[in-house]
């Protein structure tokens, strides 16, 4: 598909380790605090846009999550929905998600099938892969070129791209790092981090709407932490001030709520499949080398041995000692390196949103309340 040097698709090996280390350092729990200013700015911008145009909650939250990772990657804010970078990111999202179930296409089973001429091609996934190349190239090349020009002119703001390119220009550059690596890693921040966070924000908004009692508790907790606005305490009126990151520790119910959304609606219920490099044995079962292995995070999150009444949406289950869901960000050495950044973006946006808005179910023209129902499309997460 042309993903090239994209960590998600790199095989285990020296280049994988190099890319992994770029992400691990930048997005470590201690380091993501440096992005709080960006996240807070974008959260407040999004809520301001929502006040002006509440109908466009999907577009505005897409702008929110894309702009956070775009600014981290390339240094620039995406100011509004007319930005071409938003369209580039959406096209790359379609390229990522539209290829069917990861690990199950004809090409996964029989790699030489990728050379089939189009008129002999029976695979929708392969057609999708071929169609997607321009979008993938564009998201890697277009913002890169624009930012490179600024870096050369000395006018580029700080960014993942500028930091790692500067390391190449240093007196003793890292021995294995190349410009192509920095380019691949920079676009991966955008591609892996934007739409995954967006989908999580949308899922949280859905569950806040679906469970008004839960929403009222989120608002009551916020009122207590921030001070209620006129007649507050009901959650129906804006809080006295907007939350900042320092307020999040005083919002434990919000944190439990977000984790409960992750548990009941994992974006990647089967995570991302991985291929076993060597023959292995797991609980007495033989896994031949080259097997495609799916981790069933969806089943783990609903295991009745771990979660009482797993189908019930209950953020308080974690007070009973039930564990936060384990697999939403994957496992082991391929676990999502962006998880701390993502959760911080989601939490600060939700806190800001709920300080200002009340979410209500849609009432149809027939006067009937439309119950929002969660659902996922088949594809690679997001």
Minimum distance of ligand HEM from residue 41's CB (angstroms): 17
The structure tokens 């989601």 sit at 346
What number of CA atoms fall less than 13 Å from residue 152's CA on the CB side? 6
Burial of 107 (0-12, 13-18, 19+ CB in 10 A): middle
Q: Given the complex with ligand HEM, which of 90 and 116 has the nearer CB atom?
A: 90
The residues that bridge with 275 in the sheet, in sequence order, are: 292
Smallest distance from the beta carbon of 321 to ligand HEM, in angstroms? 24
Nearer to ligand HEM, 129 or 192 (CB): 192
CB of 135 to ligand HEM, least distance (A): 18
Smallest gap from residue 282 Cβ to ligand HEM (A): 16
Cα distance between residue 288 and residue 300, in whole Å: 23
Give the separation between CA 205 and CA 354, rounded to whole angstroms: 10
CB of 160 to ligand HEM, least distance (A): 9
> Would you say 105 or 188 has its CB closer to ligand HEM?
188
Minimum Å gap between C-beta 86 and ligand HEM is 17
How many Cβ atoms from other residues are within 10 Å of residue 284's Cβ? 5
Q: Which is nearer to ligand HEM, 172 or 377 (CB)?
A: 377
Which distant-in-sequence residues (6+ apart) come within 8 Å of 1 by Cβ? Answer: 95, 99, 129, 132, 133, 136
Q: C-beta of 231: minimal distance to ligand HEM in Å?
A: 35
Question: If you search the block for the tokens 């089943």, which residue do you land on?
Answer: 299
Other Cβ atoms within 10 Å of 174 Cβ, number: 14
Nearest to ligand HEM of 129, 189 (CB atom): 189
Q: Which residue, 147 or 186, has its beta carbon nearer to ligand HEM?
A: 186
CB-based burial, 349-380: b 16+ in 10 Å, e otherwise: bbbbbbbbbbbeeeeeeeeeeeebeeeeeebb
Instruction: Output 294 or 313, the one with its CB closest to ligand HEM.
Output: 294
Closer of 95 and 239 to ligand HEM (Cβ): 95
| Min dist. Cβ of residue 233 to ligand HEM (A) | 31
Contact 247, 226 (CB under 8 A): yes
Residue 85 CB: number of other CB atoms within 10 A? 18
Cβ of residue 209: shortest distance to ligand HEM, in angstroms? 19
Residues that bind ligand HEM (CB under 6 A): 7-8, 20, 23, 27, 188-189, 192-193, 196-197, 200, 267-268, 271-272, 328-331, 334-338, 341-342, 381
Contacts of residue 29, defined as CB under 8 A and 6 or more positions apart, other chains included, come to: 340
Whole-angstrom distance between the N-terminal and C-terminal Cα of the chain?
18
Number of helices (H) and strands (E), helices first, in the chain? 12, 4
Name which of 123 and 186 has its Cβ closer to ligand HEM: 186
How near is the Cβ of 229 to ligand HEM at its closest, in Å?
A: 30
Cβ proximity to ligand HEM: between 228 and 267 the closer is: 267
By the 8 A CB rule, do 273 and 292 touch?
yes
């Amino acid at each position: 598909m042309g993903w090239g040097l994209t960590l998600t698709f790199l095989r285990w090996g020296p280049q994988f380790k190099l890319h992994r280390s770029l992400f691990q350092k930048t997005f470590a729990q201690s380091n993501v605090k440096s992005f709080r200013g960006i996240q807070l700015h974008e959260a407040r911008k999004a809520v301001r846009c929502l006040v002006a145009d509440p109908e466009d909650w999907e577009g505005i939250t897409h702008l929110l999550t894309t702009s956070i990772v775009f600014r981290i990657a390339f240094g620039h804010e995406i100011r509004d929905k007319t930005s071409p970078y938003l369209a580039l990111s959406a096209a790359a999202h379609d390229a990522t998600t539209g290829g069917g179930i990861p690990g199950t296409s004809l090409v996964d089973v029989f790699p030489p099938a990728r050379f089939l001429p189009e008129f002999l091609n029976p695979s929708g996934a392969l057609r999708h892969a071929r169609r997607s190349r321009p979008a993938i190239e564009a998201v890697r090349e277009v913002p890169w070129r624009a930012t490179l020009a600024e870096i050369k002119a000395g006018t580029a703001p700080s960014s993942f791209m500028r930091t790692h390119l500067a390391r190449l220009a240093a007196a003793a550059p890292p021995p294995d790092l190349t410009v192509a690596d920095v380019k691949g890693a920079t676009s991966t921040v955008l591609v892996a981090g934007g739409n995954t966070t967006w989908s999580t924000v949308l899922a949280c908004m859905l569950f806040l709407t679906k469970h008004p009692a839960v929403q009222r508790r989120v608002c009551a907790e916020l009122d207590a932490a921030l001070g209620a606005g006129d007649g507050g305490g009901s959650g129906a009126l804006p809080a006295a001030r907007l939350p900042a990151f320092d307020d999040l520790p005083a919002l434990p119910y919000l944190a439990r709520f977000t984790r409960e959304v992750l548990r009941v609606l994992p974006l990647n219920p089967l995570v991302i499949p991985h291929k076993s490099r060597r023959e292995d044995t797991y609980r007495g079962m033989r896994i031949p080398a080259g097997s495609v292995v799916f981790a069933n995070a969806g089943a783990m999150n609903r295991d009745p041995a771990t979660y009482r009444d797993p189908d019930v949406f209950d953020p308080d289950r974690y007070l009973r000692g039930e564990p936060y869901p384990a697999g939403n960000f994957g496992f082991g050495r391929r676990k999502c390196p962006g998880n701390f950044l993502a959760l911080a973006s989601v939490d600060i946006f939700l806190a800001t949103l709920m300080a200002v808005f009340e979410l209500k179910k849609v009432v149809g023209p027939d006067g009937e309340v439309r119950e929002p129902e969660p659902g996922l499309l088949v594809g690679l997460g997001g």
